[in-house]
Amino acid sequence: MLTPYDEFPVHQSSRPFSMVPSTDYGWDDGYYFGLMNPVDRQFLDVNFRVNPNTDMVGGAALLVVDDHQFVVRTNRCWRRDFDLRIGPLRLENLEPMRQWRLVLEENDSGLAFDVLWQAATPPILEAHHYVEQRGRVTTDQSRYNQPGRGSGWISFRGRTIDVTPERWGAARDHSWGLYVQRPPFAPDPSHLPPTPPRSRPRALRFWTIFSFPDGGPGGFFQANELSDGSQAGMTDVFSSPFEGRIHLGPDDEGVDLATYEHDMTFEPGTRLLRTASFRLTDAAGATWEVDFERAMMPWSPRTLGYSVGSWRDGGNFHSFHGSEELAIEWDEPVDISVQPMPPLANVPVAPGEDRFRMRADAGKPETGTVLTCHVVLRSPGGRRYDGGTCHVDCSVLGPYPRYGITEATP
């Protein structure tokens, strides 16, 4: 089947774009967009992913306001319409790598928005993600990330929120390839041989995209560690070694980051991040310092649609929900002001189904992993940049003795 994209001379295989070079249900392609306001403690998250092998495309819009998390989920069959639209949710690529328009039209959920996502720096390509388990490729994926700023408006049940680039930072990523196996399209691990002993569980993940207003700096970096702080031997989907890049402005060529040190604080007796300070050394040996101070309670990605149990029927945004044309549902606002909190999945997650390793098994208390922070950057020349905003994905799966986190820590 032909798609509108087949008109362009950019094919990477002998097949049309409607066919991908894998029949694995873990192969997908899609976007994350985030707009965040740390001053007013607000966060808008928009997701859109295509799974050619289930012939489904799924999306979600999440709003955090007044310490409450609200999610709208949409999906439909993909090959009937290749546009970046699922019912009221649509994405418009106004200028590749620079500008996107994100729209959620009026609908019965009460959430609507029309926002412009504008790049603050060039996109930053991560190192290729590749993992094998017992000779089978389980991750083979590319991803690039980009800082930005946001403008436009958000409406939620009678309240209108103005989005201005002075207050609203933005982030996005685009990834494609063989990703994590998501139940219900994944084998029951009890019927497979055990994970090889060389596979060691990741304990800490810190992934961030940050930007500053008025054409200031922007960047990305990620660090994934074992319980002892080392990085060797991890084989899960998020276990890339340290990497990152910082640009001092939209036209700056940027510098690659080589090594890092960190110092974090957590709310006592929890996995809830309070502050984080990173000392980053770039490829030329110069030192950058970045300080993060949590601006709001973190939200949980478990109801977006990525994982099993996020939809009310127990599926995810790559499974069929009763309509080829449009399935849409939403959750009432959930109070996230006190954490740890009860698990947010719409359907309890059984042991072994937590493929994203979010400590999401049924019955466990939950701490959100995604948040925005106030950011301060100090460049090698000694200049200090204040007023930064960021997306931070911080998950401590533990134990992590350095910060007093044990397996029993909720």
Is 348 a domain residue? yes
- Residues 260-281 as b or e (16 or more Cβ within 10 Å = b): bebebebeeebbbbeebebebe
**CB contact set of 70 (below 8 Å; sequence gap of 6+):** 62, 63, 64, 111, 156, 330, 331, 332, 333, 334
pLDDT of 199:
60
Is 169 a domain residue? yes
Q: What whole-number distance in Å separates Cα of residue 370 and Cα of residue 312?
A: 22
Global pTM value: 0.93
Domain that holds residue 295: 25-189+197-403
372 DSSP assignment: -
Tokens of residue 223, six digits:
């660090």
Q: Which helix (H) or strand (E) holds 20?
A: none
Q: What whole-number distance in Å separates Cα of residue 282 and Cα of residue 280?
A: 6
pLDDT of 133:
80
Q: What whole-number distance in Å separates Cα of residue 76 and Cα of residue 295?
A: 35
Q: Are 201 and 226 contacting, i.e. CB atoms less than 8 angstroms apart?
A: yes
Strand residues in 96-158 grouped as ranges (E): 99-104, 111-119, 124-125, 129-133, 136-156
Tokens of residue 27, six digits:
């192969």
User: Which of 38, 39, 44 shows the shortest CA–CA distance to 60?
Assistant: 44
Is 57 a domain residue? yes
Is 255 a domain residue? yes
pLDDT of 283:
97
Tokens of residue 290, six digits:
């970045």
Judged by DSSP in three states, 145 sits in: strand
SS3 string, 213-238, reads CCCCCEEEEEEEECCCCCCCCECCCC
Give 185-215 pLDDT, tens digit per residue: 887 777 888 876 656 678 899 999 999 999 9
pLDDT of 235:
64
The number of C-alpha atoms within 13 Å of 270 and in the hemisphere containing its C-beta is 18
Is 89 a domain residue? yes
Is 74 a domain residue? yes
pLDDT of 231:
83
Judged by DSSP in three states, 351 sits in: coil
**CB contact set of 36 (below 8 Å; sequence gap of 6+):** 42, 43, 44, 168, 169, 170, 171, 372, 389, 390, 391
Q: Are 41 and 67 contacting, i.e. CB atoms less than 8 angstroms apart?
A: yes
Q: What whole-number distance in Å separates Cα of residue 221 and Cα of residue 254?
A: 13
Tokens of residue 311, six digits:
């939809």
Q: What whole-number distance in Å separates Cα of residue 291 and Cα of residue 262?
A: 10
Q: What whole-number distance in Å separates Cα of residue 223 and Cα of residue 394?
A: 10
Q: Are 165 and 118 contacting, i.e. CB atoms less than 8 angstroms apart?
A: yes
- pLDDT (tens, 9 = 90+) of the chain, 410 residues, equals 999 999 999 998 899 999 998 999 999 999 999 999 999 999 999 999 999 999 999 999 999 999 999 999 999 999 999 999 999 999 999 999 999 999 999 999 999 999 999 999 999 999 998 888 888 888 899 999 999 999 999 999 999 999 999 999 999 999 999 987 777 888 777 788 887 665 667 889 999 999 999 999 999 999 999 999 988 666 666 667 799 999 999 999 999 999 999 999 999 999 999 999 999 999 999 999 999 999 999 999 989 998 877 899 989 999 999 999 999 999 999 999 999 998 887 766 655 555 444 445 556 788 999 999 999 999 999 999 999 999 999 999 879 999 999 988 88
Is 399 a domain residue? yes
DSSP string, 169-219: EEEEEEEEEE-PPPTTSS--GGGSPPPPTT-B---EEEEEEEE-TTT--EE
DSSP string, 38-98: TTTTEEEEEEEEEETTTTEEEEEEEEEETTEEEEEEEEEESTT--SSEETTEEEEEEETTT
Is 345 a domain residue? yes
Q: Which residues does residue 35 pair with via DSSP β-bridges, in sequence order?
A: 44, 170
**Rounded to whole angstroms, what are the CA distances from 153 to 34, 50, 156, 363, 364?**
14, 27, 10, 38, 36
Torsion over CA: 214, 63, 274, 38 (sign): positive
The domain tally of the chain equals 1
Torsion over CA: 319, 322, 327, 329 (sign): negative
